[in-house]
Chain A
Amino acid sequence: MRKTDILDVVSRKLAPFMFLFGLYLVSHGDLSPGGGFQGGVVIASGVILLAMAKGSAAAAALLPLRRLAVTEAVVFGLILAAGFAGVVTGVGFLADVLYDGSPLPVVRTPFVFILNLLIGLKVGAGASLICLHLFAQE
C-alpha cells in the first residue's frame, strides 16, 4: 500500500512526544491523574503509530520482539519480588517496604513510584508485543 509523506513525517515527529508523555504519566502517577497502566498504554500507542506508519518490520528493528518478551517476563518477576520483599521484611505482601514510619505526606513515596514504573514498563512492553505480533501477520 502506498503511503504519503505526511503520514511518514508526522508519525516520526509525533512518536517521541508520545513516549515522553507516556513516561510523564508513569513517573507522576502518584501525584496526578495517570499511572503505570495508562502511561504504558500511551507508550505502546507510540510504538503502534511507528509500526503503522513505517511498517512492522521497522518497528521490530527498533524494538526486537524477543527483547520485548524478555522485558515483559522479567518485569513481572520484579513486581513479584517487590511484593515478596514486603513478606520478607514483615509488612505484608506488596506493602510499602520503603516507608520508615515517618509522618506522611512526604514529597514522593518511592515504593508507589517504583511499582508504577514497573507496571508501566510491563504494560508498554506487553501491549506493544501483542500489536507487533498481530501486525507481523499481515
Chain B
Amino acid sequence: MGSRAVEIAAILVVAAFLVLSLGGEHPEETPVRAYVIEHGLAQTGAANLVTSIYLGYRAFDTLGETIVLLLAVSGVVLLVEHRR
C-alpha cells in the first residue's frame, strides 16, 4: 500500500509540473521572439514562422539534422547487412 501511495504522489507531482509548464502562453517576451514575429515573413517568405526559423534563419541546423538521419540509416544498414 505504501508503494501505491508513492506512485500516486509521483504522478501528481508530474501532473502539476505539466499543468504549470504547458498551461498557456509563455510569459517571457524575448527579443528574438519579437524579432521573428515581426520580420520572419518578410525575410524568409514563409508564412509559417516555425518553417521560417528552421529553413530560413537556421537552415544550417536543419542540414545537420539530415546528416544525423543519414548516419542513423547508414548505421542500421551496416548492422543489418553485417549480421546476414
Contacts and interface: CB of A to CB of B under 8 A. Distances in A.
Do A and B pair up? The answer is yes
Grouping DSSP codes into helix (H, G, I), strand (E, B) and loop, the B interface class, with mixed when no group exceeds half, is helix
Contacts of A109: 44-46
A126 B51 contact: no
B42 A126 contact: no
Q: What range describes how many residues of A lie at the interface?
A: 35 or more
A104 B42 contact: yes
B50 to A, nearest CB: 7
Interface in B26-73: 41-48, 50-52, 54-56, 59-60, 62-63, 65-67, 69-70, 72-73
Contact of B70 (A72, A94, A111, A136): A72
Nearest to A128: B73
A99 B46 CA distance: 12
Q: Name the residue among B51, B72, B76, B80 with the largest chain A CB count within 10 angstroms.
A: B51
Contacts of B55: 30, 35, 112, 115-116
Q: Name the residue among A35, A112, A127 with the largest chain B CB count within 10 angstroms.
A: A112
A72 B77 CA distance: 12
A89 B73 CA distance: 32
Contacts of B70: 72-73, 76, 122, 126
A31 B65 CA distance: 22
Given A83-B63, A119-B66, A133 B77 contact: yes
Interface in A100-126: 104-106, 108-109, 111-112, 115-116, 119, 122-123, 126
Q: Name the residue among B60, B62, B66 with the largest chain A CB count within 10 angstroms.
A: B66
A115 B61 CA distance: 13
A-B pairs with lowest CB-CB distance, top 4 = A109-B45, A94-B59, A30-B46, A126-B73
Interface of A: 29-35, 37, 69, 72-73, 76, 79-80, 83, 93-96, 99, 104-106, 108-109, 111-112, 115-116, 119, 122-123, 126-127, 129-130, 133-134, 136-137
